[in-house]
Amino acid sequence: MAAYLDTIIAAHRAAAAEDRRDPAAAIEAAQRSGPIRPFAAAVVAAAALRGMAIISEIKRRSPSKGDLDPTLDPAGVANDYEIGGATCLSVLTDHDFFGGSTEDLQRARAACSLPVLRKDFTISPLDVCDARSMGADAVLLIVAALSDHELGSLLGLANRLSLTALVEVHDELELKRALDAGAEVIGVNQRDLHTFEVDHQRALTLGPMIPSAAVAVAESGIRGGDDVGRLAGAGYQAVLVGETLVRAGDRRAAVAALLGAGR
């Protein structure tokens, strides 16, 4: 099977190499952006109150699954998620591989009061600045896509811009790299980004290795209440759920069902 991550990251690095904007000017512009909604604090508060926080994802398609809902209305979906009890949103902004856009994030955020993660492949300081400028409250940093220097630098910039950094890992070595870089919010992706296949044991294995001081988020392949219950038992404070919710006939009820399973 194709190495999806390699292809996607190569495309993003090529685009970054052609971006001639001044990073200092981009940082200054990002710092003038509107107020941030506290992403990590919302997760911690919801987990304490409900047993689990639900980060509900808005995405139109994926390389492995194809179209999920290419004509979805980001504002309507965000509203449904919030009514269902979601704590935060995750919005895909990658266009070429996931069909997303900056507009998707902005419309979703404007339609609700939830903190919003920009779900994209962040590989440069300009990507972090763009996340802040478009209105995101959090940014994704994928350890597998970054060198140690890049990870530390982008994490520091996210902190400087008051963005929560969700630092995504896939194995014990990546978890160590994330923690060494100072990550405070750790996402364990159960999907192998080279094959896009899901390993449900991955999060259960890594969960106990995440320090209690960090916020632990399980990502990908979460299909229902049984998965949420197991992940809550493994110490996770939040689950990030995309395909299951996007495909649900009643998205409000689907979020509520996941939330009930975490209690």
Q: Which of 56, 133, 220, 243 is catalytic?
A: 220
For residue 227 the two structure tokens come to 């998965």
159 is catalytic: no
User: Which position has the token pair 């404007």?
Assistant: 110
Q: Which of 56, 62, 82, 119 is catalytic?
A: 119
For residue 46 the two structure tokens come to 């919801």
**Which residues are paired to 56 by β-bridges?**
89, 241
243 is catalytic: no
189 is catalytic: yes
219 is catalytic: yes
Q: Which of 56, 124, 168, 174 is catalytic?
A: 168
119 is catalytic: yes
Q: Which of 59, 82, 90, 174 is catalytic?
A: 59
CB 131 within 8 A of CB 162: no
66-67 vs 61-62, strand pairing mode = antiparallel
Q: Which of 62, 90, 124, 219 is catalytic?
A: 219
CB 138 within 8 A of CB 42: no
Which alpha helices (DSSP H) does 142-263 contain, by range? 148-160, 172-181, 201-206, 225-233, 243-246, 251-261
Q: Which of 57, 82, 174, 243 is catalytic?
A: 57
- Long-range Cβ pairs for the range 257-260 (8 Å, 24+): 257/224, 257/225, 258/52, 258/54, 258/222, 258/224, 258/225, 258/228, 259/50, 259/52, 259/54, 259/84, 259/85, 259/86, 260/225
Query: Which of 234, 174, 177 is closest to 201 using CA atoms?
Result: 234
The catalytic residue positions are 57, 59, 119, 168, 189, 219-220
